[in-house]
Structure 1
């Protein structure tokens, strides 16, 4: 039985699931869907995932479509290189960090990047400035964690890193592709915002198999 994932290039949720598999060194088959062509809403895909969302991960009789559930399932199915730690204390800490990141970082990131990427915003409006302040506050929380540990999940990469990394990397991507508006919002480059986060991104990207999780259209 092969492990399969259905994804859309650049979408954070399936990227999380792919990172979980990469951290564990798992082989998996990728089904890349085109959002522009609405392939995630096609009849064939809706048979697999009736909500028409990504990701979907499938192995044998198991089909999952929520990224956090996928990470938890991966840990039970493939216990080596645990994503949620090896002790009750570690599990509690990683779950708390994972869910706090999940609850706040995606919305904060979207508040800045959605207007820029999808609406062509090129002026630092009051709304965007407020959104940038919220995002920088969330990045400061990550910086505080990374001041004391190599990864957000501790001494090895885990679920908290899988959830945070796609959003941080999308922020960095915006800094590279839309520098003028990002600079106007106080987000000049990642090293200026947080050396700790910059170093963490480098550690994640240096891990085996992580490069294969990157959005294909970035190439």
Structure 2
């Protein structure tokens, strides 16, 4: 039975779920919703996900609408290439890293990128400078892990990588498309900021099926 997946281009939550499927080599049908046209709030979509959020994953009579729950379900439904490791010790450590990233990195990223991408911020205000310091601190946590492991989940990609990658790649996107303000915030270049994170990004991007998870509108803008 084919997996059905509803997403919005560039939204981190569905991106992390898509990465979980990519890491497992799973095929799925994509239903791309337009946030601008509020398709995620349409009656048709609300009949599938009453919260009107993305992602939604559906297989048969199973429907899930929360990205971390989707990653956990994928490991039970498709045990090969586990996202949460092979052993109880692996599972505990990966769950801890996954939830620490989930609890701290999205907010730190949004505090910097939302004003730049969605509010037209063009200068490094005091609030943005403070937010950038918090974001750099969170990136330091990732750097410390990647100084010891190839992936945030350990020797192979897993749930922690799926949660972190969209946010890091959005930061890199801002470096590419909004270079001046990102430079003013001390976030000009990922290689200079953290070679460990930059190398990890390349490793994740080189994995099979990861390219198809990227936001379609990025290709349209190229």
The alpha-carbon deviation at position 7 of structure 1 amounts to: 0.2
TM-score, scaled relative to structure 1: 1.00
- Give the equivalent residue in structure 2 for 1:10: 10
Residues in 1 aligned to 2:4 and 2:171: alpha-carbon distance in whole angstroms: 28
Residue correspondences, number? 219
Spell out the pairing of 1:171-210 with structure 2 (5 A cutoff): 171-210=171-210
Spell out the pairing of 1:99-118 with structure 2 (5 A cutoff): 99-118=99-118
Residues in 2 aligned to 1:118 and 1:94: alpha-carbon distance in whole angstroms: 33
The alpha-carbon deviation at position 73 of structure 1 amounts to: 0.2
The alpha-carbon deviation at position 156 of structure 1 amounts to: 0.2
TM-score, scaled relative to structure 2: 0.98
Structure 2: any 5+ residue segments left out of the alignment? none
Structure 1: any 5+ residue segments left out of the alignment? none
Alpha carbon RMSD of aligned pairs, Å? 0.3
- Give the equivalent residue in structure 1 for 2:156: 156
Residues in 1 aligned to 2:75 and 2:43: alpha-carbon distance in whole angstroms: 31
1:62 aligns with 2:62: yes
For residues 152-205 of structure 1, give each alpha carbon's deviation from its aligned partner in whole angstroms, at most 9, with x where no partner exists.
000000000000000000000000000000000000111011000000000000
DSSP-derived class of the 1:68 partner: helix
Spell out the pairing of 1:30-69 with structure 2 (5 A cutoff): 30-69=30-69
The alpha-carbon deviation at position 78 of structure 1 amounts to: 0.2
For residues 16-40 of structure 1, give each alpha carbon's deviation from its aligned partner in whole angstroms, at most 9, with x where no partner exists.
0000000000000000000000000
For residues 57-99 of structure 1, give each alpha carbon's deviation from its aligned partner in whole angstroms, at most 9, with x where no partner exists.
0000100000000000000000000000000000000000000
The alpha-carbon deviation at position 206 of structure 1 amounts to: 0.2
Residues in 1 aligned to 2:196 and 2:14: alpha-carbon distance in whole angstroms: 25
The alpha-carbon deviation at position 10 of structure 1 amounts to: 0.1
After superposing on structure 2, the runs of 4+ consecutive aligned residues of structure 1 that deviate more than 2 Å are none
DSSP-derived class of the 1:124 partner: coil
The alpha-carbon deviation at position 112 of structure 1 amounts to: 0.1
Spell out the pairing of 1:14-33 with structure 2 (5 A cutoff): 14-33=14-33
Residues in 1 aligned to 2:81 and 2:208: alpha-carbon distance in whole angstroms: 13
Residues in 1 aligned to 2:5 and 2:217: alpha-carbon distance in whole angstroms: 17
- Give the equivalent residue in structure 1 for 2:121: 121
